[in-house]
Amino acid sequence: MANDLGEIDHYPLDDYSENWTLSAPGGQETINLTGIGFISFYVGGNHQYKIMSRTENEMVLQTTEGDESLDWHFRLVAED
**Spans of all domains in the chain:** 20-77
For the four alpha carbons of 58, 68, 6 and 9, in that order, the dihedral sign comes to negative
What's residue 40's pLDDT?
A: 86
* pTM of the shown model: 0.75
31 against 44, higher pLDDT: 31
* Percent of all residues in the chain with a pLDDT value above 90, rounded to a whole number: 56
In the chain the beta strands, taken as DSSP E runs, fall at: 20-23, 30-33, 48-54, 58-64, 71-77
CB neighbourhood size of 33 (10 A): 17
